[in-house]
């Protein structure tokens, strides 16, 4: 067996070997859009890492969007602006603007905040607080949204049937099917109010903005994209970071991520609790 033959065999075997799996990448056409809606599974560290890497790549290429975050409630915008002005690191921003009772795992978000500091990007507080969502549940949209917003987004009229049914279904599934049925309309209404407020923030920065939010908020069929009136769909990229394949039409692109190890969230759930 000659050395030349051995070299050729080695080359052939190398070509047949299964290459290491590459991280998923955004479709190039979607990546060029000026509005990114980037989803998440809240406790999936690998999904957060991938999302931050994709954002960092585009920032390094020169993009300078605003970054809207579900993790900051809207009333913390002044605190967030001051923290960005005064803080030297992302942990300081969280301490100043994150809210003492916020339940977010902030270590997943500080890398994005650090990118905003590095590139001097605006950070936008994009969420309704739990208290405001509760008021919407009990009293309706006008309890937490101003009259102009209610009218502009058509919340003074019945929701489209598919949106109403879809949001109720997602709330029910998210609570393991154990919620009393009379709570579903109010909780779905609170979810809609959050989507509307996030859409309002995105619309105001639609020349260049990234929204970081849970996968449910960035779904094209139910979430923020349903409320982006006046922003052409071809300018928006809705990206789901999902642990299992999803139905077509939920996102412009789904990026499959390894499932995080966690206890069964429905184990031990009892009706009425």
pLDDT at 152 (0 to 100): 96
Contact 38, 255 (CB under 8 A): no
Tokens of 265: 């969230």
CA distances (Å), 7 to each of 4, 16, 187, 222, 225, in order?
A: 5, 14, 66, 57, 55
Contact 25, 227 (CB under 8 A): no
Contact 157, 252 (CB under 8 A): no
Tens of pLDDT along the chain (273 residues) come to 334 433 433 333 333 333 345 667 899 999 999 999 999 999 999 999 999 999 999 999 999 999 999 999 999 999 999 999 999 999 999 999 998 666 899 999 999 999 999 999 999 999 999 999 999 999 999 999 999 999 999 999 999 999 999 999 999 999 999 999 999 999 999 999 999 999 999 999 999 999 999 999 999 999 999 999 999 999 999 999 999 999 889 999 999 999 999 898 888 665 444
Tokens of 194: 């959050």
pLDDT at 20 (0 to 100): 42
Q: How many CA atoms lie within 13 A of 26 on its CB side?
A: 26
pLDDT at 4 (0 to 100): 40
pLDDT at 269 (0 to 100): 65
pLDDT at 24 (0 to 100): 78
Write down the residue that tokens 């003074």 correspond to: 156
Is the entire prediction scored with pTM above 0.85? yes
Contact 256, 24 (CB under 8 A): yes
Query: What phi, psi does 69 have (nearest 5°)?
Result: -130, 130
């Amino acid at each position: 067996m000659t050395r030349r033959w051995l070299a050729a065999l080695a080359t052939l075997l190398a070509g047949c070997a299964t290459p290491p799996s590459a991280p998923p990448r955004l479709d190039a056409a979607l990546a060029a859009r000026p509005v990114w809606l980037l989803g998440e599974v809240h406790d999936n560290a690998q999904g957060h890492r991938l999302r931050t890497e994709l954002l960092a790549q585009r920032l390094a290429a020169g993009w300078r969007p605003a970054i809207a975050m579900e993790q900051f409630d809207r009333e913390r915008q002044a605190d967030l602006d001051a923290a960005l002005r005064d803080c030297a690191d992302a942990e300081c921003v969280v301490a100043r603007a994150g809210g003492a009772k916020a339940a977010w795992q902030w270590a997943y978000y500080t890398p994005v905040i650090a990118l905003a500091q590095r590139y001097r990007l605006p950070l936008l507080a994009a969420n309704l607080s739990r208290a405001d969502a509760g008021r919407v549940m009990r009293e309706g949209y006008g309890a937490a949204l101003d009259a102009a917003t209610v009218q502009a987004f058509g919340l003074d009229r019945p929701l489209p049937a598919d949106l109403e049914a879809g949001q109720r279904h997602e709330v029910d599934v998210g609570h393991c099917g154990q919620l009393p049925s009379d709570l579903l309309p109010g909780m779905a209404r609170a979810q809609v109010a959050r989507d509307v407020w996030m859409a309002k923030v995105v619309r105001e920065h639609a020349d260049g903005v990234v929204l970081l939010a849970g996968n449910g908020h960035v779904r094209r069929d139910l979430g923020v994209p349903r409320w982006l009136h006046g922003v052409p769909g071809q300018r928006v990229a809705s990206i789901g970071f999902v642990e299992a394949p999803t139905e077509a039409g939920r996102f412009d692109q789904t990026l499959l991520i390894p499932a995080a190890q966690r206890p069964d969230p429905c184990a031990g759930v009892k009706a009425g609790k």
